[in-house]
Amino acid sequence: MKFIHRLSLVIFFVLLAGCSSGPDLSLSHLKELYPETFAAPIEALSQEQQEKLGLPEELPFELKALKANVSGNETEVIYQSDSAVQAVVRTIFDPGNDLEESDLQIPLDAGGVAGIQKRDDHVFVEWYNGDYDVIYQLEYTSTNKEKRLKEAMEITNSIS
C-alpha cells in the first residue's frame, strides 16, 4: 500500500512539473519546429547575431505560426496565434542612437527603460540593450485592450 501511495505522489509531481513549464521558445527548438519560415531566414545571420536575437521566453498566447524576415541590420520575428493575437519582435543590430520618442517609459526587470506607445490596435515597446548593442522593438496586437499593455510588458521582460 505504501508503494502505491509513493508511486502516486511521484506521478503527481512529474505531472505537475510537466504542466508548469511552458512551451520551449528557444532558438534551437524554434528552428526545428519552423525550418522553412523561421530557420532558413535566420541562418543568414552570423552566430553572434543569432545569439542576440530578441526571442521571448514566454508568450501570453498559444503559438500557431512563426515567421522570420531578415533585411540588412534588422531581423523581424512574427509570432502568431490562431486568432488576431500576434507579437512582432524586431532586433536592430548596431543601431546607433535611433530610438523613437515615447510619452510613457517603464523600467524593465533586467534594468534599463522601455519606451511605450499605446496605439489603437496594438502596443509598441522599444528599448536599447547596451550589452548587445541592439534595439529591440515589440508590436503586440491583441483584441483584449485591458490586458494588452500588461501582456506586452510580460513579453518584453521575457526577452531581456
pTM over the 0.85 mark:
no
At 29, give phi and psi (nearest 5°): -70, -40
User: Where does residue 123 rank: exposed (0-12), middle (13-18), buried (19+ CB within 10 A)?
Assistant: buried
Task: Identify whether the C-beta of residue 97 lies closer than 8 Å to the C-beta of residue 123.
Answer: no
Which secondary structure element, helix H or strand E, spans residue 147, and what is its range? helix 145-159
The per-residue pLDDT string of the chain (160 residues; one tens digit each, 9 = 90 and over) reads 544 444 343 344 434 344 434 578 999 899 999 999 999 999 999 999 999 999 999 999 999 999 999 999 999 999 999 988 999 999 999 887 667 778 799 999 988 899 999 998 999 999 999 889 999 999 999 989 999 999 999 999 999 6
The dihedral sign for the CA sequence 142, 73, 93, 135: negative
